[in-house]
Amino acid sequence: MNTKTQFLNILQAYVDFPTEEIPTDKPFKAVAGIDSFMLIELISSIEDSFGFSIPNKDLQQFKTINDIVGYIDSRRN
């Protein structure tokens, strides 16, 4: 399973519609309705699923799904 699919599967637990409908190049928090509390839970789920910690300073990079997927890929390699 590729990183994008894995991330979308994680994100699906936080939204009430298919994650495939979220544009990967738009600010996903607004489009998906993710608030700050949900983002913290989402990051925790990402860390658990991918096996690494994400420093708070890196969270500012996460604007779009593409940003998150790229970050995860860079940490996995």
Q: What is the pLDDT of residues 13-68, one digit of tens each?
A: 999 889 888 898 999 888 888 888 998 999 999 999 999 999 999 998 999 999 99
Per-residue three-class SS string for the chain: CCHHHHHHHHHHCCCCCCHHHCCCCCCHHHHHCCCHHHHHHHHHHHHHHHCCCCCHHHHHHCCCHHHHHHHHHHHHC
Over residues 19-31, the pLDDT tens digits come to 888 898 999 888 8
pTM for the predicted model, two decimal places: 0.88
Domain boundaries, the chain: 3-14+24-76
Which of these CATH numbers, 1.10.1200.10, 3.20.20.140, 3.40.50.1580, 3.40.50.10490, describes 3-14+24-76? 1.10.1200.10
